[in-house]
């Protein structure tokens, strides 16, 4: 795995000085084209052995590129704010927008590596995390991201000499700590874990590039040229349309499905409703104040037919909670900022911390509902969205989130009655739009999309 990165690659000073000006000019030009093109982000991961020159490599990229359109994120031990949310939350927030370059000094791989070296997790658990990260990166690639993952390698002897050299220099000795020498003692274990990681997470869409870090000039030129060529190639080559990852939809032989089987005539007498509503609101209020809830988060997702009563249902849930404890996120058409990021980005950033509640009025299911029916995304995009949504909800539940999803359904006749009623009442007219009337014309397509959505994404952890 690392043999070719221990051959003693070296670039002399004269060659380096000759090549850098052309490389810098090409990187700046290409970065400008990337910015103007604005159709995809570039995500660069810089990982590797301690003392291998990761920081110097990032500095070189900043020297050669326009720093206004670069962002660097270094991840250390999670903060209290980050610990209170799913582990991937902090990485989602750091993703660059289209047309920009994001450099990750350390990444979503750092913590699993440290856990495995310390034997805090088993090989099976480590592999499970790698599978999760493969799916995460595949989603980013399918959304259009260019991912470049660099592993900067040093042999054990080279790492020892590098640490001595850094420590000897008064200007750099601060970079070498006791932990640096302690990690040298675990070098062999790191190589074992890193080799396994690189084999299992080097995929066609997000491969690892192993770079020898012994010679600073060779390392920096190699990374710089690789970044340049990858962006140039991507700007020229049209990205292949991703294949759907969901199984094909089953043909409907009869007309029996989940929505058709609902009994829409069910009702409660008004006095029973009032009594039961007060009872269950009181129970919900008790649960929100229970000490155990400080270790959980609640995510309520409301979808449904137009005029089915989502707003009323949300208000009745709200009235049982302390206003300081919850947030309501109304979801409409994505903004330009949201369109410049992967689809789920705008939902990840609203995830509540432990002990809090987020209520979504419309949700991430828009991709497999309105975007599917109206043709706002490709079939490949909405087909793979089922698996991506399942992963998203699993990550939330695994971190202590309680995900509860509601679909509110009414008949076509009841919907028409409510539409006409809203049109007649002045303070309710804002609720009815031309889009609502157009949606009625596509009721059959929405019906089919809803049934597919429930079949493919209603799980034990997020029903």
Mean pLDDT throughout 71-98? 96
Q: Is the pLDDT assigned to residue 171 strictly greater than 90?
A: no
pLDDT digits (tens, 9 = 90+) for 315-357: 999 999 999 999 999 999 999 999 999 999 999 999 999 999 9
Q: Is the pLDDT assigned to residue 250 strictly greater than 70?
A: no
For residue 456, the model assigns a pLDDT of 94
3-state class of 407 per DSSP?
strand
Q: Is the pLDDT assigned to residue 245 strictly greater than 60?
A: no
| 308, 436, 460 from 412: Cα distances, Å | 10, 12, 30
Break the chain into its structural domains and give their ranges: 3-236, 270-457
Q: Is the pLDDT assigned to residue 269 strictly greater than 80?
A: yes
With a pLDDT cut of 90, the percent of the chain lying above it is 82
Identify the band that residue 179 occupies on the pLDDT scale cut at 50, 70 and 90. Answer: confident
pLDDT digits (tens, 9 = 90+) for 377-386: 999 999 999 9
Backbone angles phi, psi at 361, to 5 degrees: -95, 95
Angle at 374 between CA 373 and CA 380, to 5 degrees: 65
If you search the block for the tokens 């250390």, which residue do you land on?
76
Phi-psi region of 38 (alpha: psi -120 to 50; beta: other; left: phi over 0): left
Angle at 389 between CA 463 and CA 90, to 5 degrees: 115
Dig out the tokens for 111 from the structure: 């913590």
If you search the block for the tokens 């990337």, which residue do you land on?
34
How much is the mean pLDDT over the chain?
A: 93
> Among 253-262, 372-381, 437-446, which is the least confidently predicted range?
253-262
For residue 86, the model assigns a pLDDT of 97
CATH, domain 270-457, list 3.40.50.300, 3.40.718.10, 3.40.50.150, 3.40.440.10: 3.40.50.300
Mean pLDDT throughout 247-257? 69
User: How far is residue 153's CA from residue 87's CA, in Å, rounded to a whole number?
Assistant: 27
For residue 143, the model assigns a pLDDT of 96
pLDDT digits (tens, 9 = 90+) for 270-323: 999 999 999 999 999 999 999 999 999 999 999 999 999 999 999 999 999 999
Give yes or no for a contact between 408 and 310, defined as CB atoms under 8 angstroms apart.
yes
- The CATH architecture one would assign to domain 3-236 is 3-Layer(aba) Sandwich (3.40)
pLDDT digits (tens, 9 = 90+) for 181-203: 888 888 999 999 999 999 999 99
For residue 35, the model assigns a pLDDT of 97
For residue 50, the model assigns a pLDDT of 87
pLDDT digits (tens, 9 = 90+) for 43-60: 999 999 988 999 999 999
> Comparing C-alpha atoms, which of 345, 350, 351, 328 is closest to residue 402?
351
Give yes or no for a contact between 97 and 70, defined as CB atoms under 8 angstroms apart.
no
Fold match, 3-236 / 270-457: yes
For residue 253, the model assigns a pLDDT of 67
Identify the band that residue 228 occupies on the pLDDT scale cut at 50, 70 and 90. Answer: very high
For residue 175, the model assigns a pLDDT of 83
């Amino acid at each position: 795995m690392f043999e070719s990165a221990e051959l003693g690659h070296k670039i002399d000073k004269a060659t380096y000085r000759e090549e850098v000006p052309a490389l810098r000019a090409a990187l700046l030009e290409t970065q400008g084209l990337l910015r103007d093109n604005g159709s995809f982000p570039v995500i660069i991961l810089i990982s590797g052995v301690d003392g291998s020159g990761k920081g110097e490599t990032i500095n070189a990229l900043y020297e050669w590129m326009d720093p206004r359109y670069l962002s660097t994120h270094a991840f250390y031990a999670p903060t209290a704010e980050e610990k209170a949310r799913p582990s991937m939350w902090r990485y989602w927030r750091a993703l660059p927008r289209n047309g920009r370059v994001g450099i990750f000094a350390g990444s979503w791989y750092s913590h699993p590596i440290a856990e495995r070296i310390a034997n805090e997790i088993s090989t099976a658990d480590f592999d499970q995390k790698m599978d999760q990260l493969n799916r995460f990166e595949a989603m980013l690639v399918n959304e259009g991201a260019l991912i470049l993952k660099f592993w900067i390698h040093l042999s054990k002897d080279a790492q020892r000499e590098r640490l001595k050299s850094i420590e000897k220099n008064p200007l750099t000795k601060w970079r070498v700590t006791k932990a640096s020498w302690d990690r040298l003692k675990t070098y062999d274990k790191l190589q074992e874990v890193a080799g396994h990681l690189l084999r299992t997470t080097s995929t066609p869409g997000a491969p690892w590039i192993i770079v020898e870090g012994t010679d600073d000039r060779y390392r920096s030129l190699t990374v710089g040229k690789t970044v340049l060529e990858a962006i140039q190639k991507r700007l020229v080559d049209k990205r292949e349309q991703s294949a759907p990852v969901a199984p094909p939809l089953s043909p409907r032989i009869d007309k029996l499905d989940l929505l058709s089987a609902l009994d829409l005539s069910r009702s409660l007498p008004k006095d029973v409703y009032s009594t039961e509503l007060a009872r269950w609101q009181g129970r919900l209020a008790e649960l929100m104040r229970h000490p155990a809830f400080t270790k959980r988060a609640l995510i309520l997702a409301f979808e449904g037919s137009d005029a089915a009563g989502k707003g009323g249902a949300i208000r009745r849930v709200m009235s049982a909670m302390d206003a300081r404890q919850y947030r309501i996120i109304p979801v409409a058409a994505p903004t330009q900022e949201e369109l410049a990021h992967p689809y789920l980005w705008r939902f990840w950033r609203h995830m509540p911390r432990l002990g809090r509640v987020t209520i979504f009025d419309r949700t991430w299911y828009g991709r497999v509902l309105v975007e599917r029916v109206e043709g706002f995304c490709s079939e490949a995009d909405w087909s793979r969205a089922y698996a991506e949504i399942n992963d998203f909800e699993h990550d939330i539940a695994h971190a202590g989130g309680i995900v509860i999803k509601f679909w509110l359904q009414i008949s076509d006749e009841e919907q028409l009655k409510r539409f006409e009623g809203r049109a007649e009442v002045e303070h309710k007219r804002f609720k009815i739009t031309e889009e609502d009337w157009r949606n009625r014309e596509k009721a059959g397509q929405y019906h089919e999309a809803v049934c597919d959505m429930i079949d493919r994404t209603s799980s034990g952890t997020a029903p």
